[in-house]
Amino acid sequence: MASAGYLGLTIAPTLGCNFACVYCYEKDSQKNVFMSEEVQRKIIEYIKRQIKYLQSVNITWYGGEPLLAFDIVKNMSKKIIKLCDENEVMYGASIITNGYNLTREVVEQFKNLRLSFIQITL
Ligand code: SF4
């Protein structure tokens, strides 16, 4: 959603999940489906087109389980952060995860990805 200089996007880099919660609306969806490079590129292009109108960009990483697609999260984050920094636009990000893959090694990378809010769904 873009308004008054603010763009908030919820991005699902995969619909796959390593859990199988009975209540989950994702459970019948295809597993191991990852966002294609084309879709990733189009999202970056969309932000690029909007950036001159923006004061801040906020991304929420969602799924499925987004940490199954951590390479996509990292790759897209770096591109969006670069765009924001070059245009003096504030950037912030959060992730909604089941926490299973939230290892020390993963969390240590969050600072560089400016991922400052983690919601763990139990
Ligand atoms: S962890 Fe979340 S996405 Fe995965 S099956 Fe459970 S509710 Fe669905």
**pLDDT tens digits along 57-90:** 999 999 899 999 999 999 999 999 999 999 999 9
Gap from CA of 64 to ligand 1 centroid (Å): 6
- Give pLDDT tens digits for 28-63: 666 678 999 999 999 999 999 999 999 999 999 998
| pLDDT tops 50 at residue 3 | no
Q: How confident is the model at residue 24 (pLDDT cuts 50, 70, 90)?
A: confident
Q: How confident is the model at residue 1 (pLDDT cuts 50, 70, 90)?
A: low
Q: What is the position in ligand 1's atom list of the atom closest to the CA of 26?
A: 8
For ligand 1, say whether the CB of 16 is within 6 Å of any of its atoms. Answer: no
Q: What are phi and psi of 99, to 5 degrees?
A: 85, -10
Is it true that the peptide bond before 8 is cis, omega within 30 degrees of 0? no
Q: What is the position in ligand 1's atom list of the atom closest to the CA of 27?
A: 5
CA 52 to CA 54: how far, in whole Å? 6
Q: Which residues lie closer than 8 Å to 91 by C-beta, 6 or more apart? A: 56, 57, 58, 59, 80, 81, 84, 85, 114
Q: How confident is the model at residue 20 (pLDDT cuts 50, 70, 90)?
A: confident
For residue 35, give the amino acid letter.
M
pTM of the model: 0.93
CATH superfamily membership of 2-120:
Aldolase class I (3.20.20.70)
Task: Decide: 35 and 12 in contact? Cβ < 8 Å.
Answer: yes
Domain ranges for the chain, please list them: 2-120
Q: What is the pLDDT of residue 23?
A: 85
For ligand 1, say whether the CB of 46 is within 6 Å of any of its atoms. Answer: no
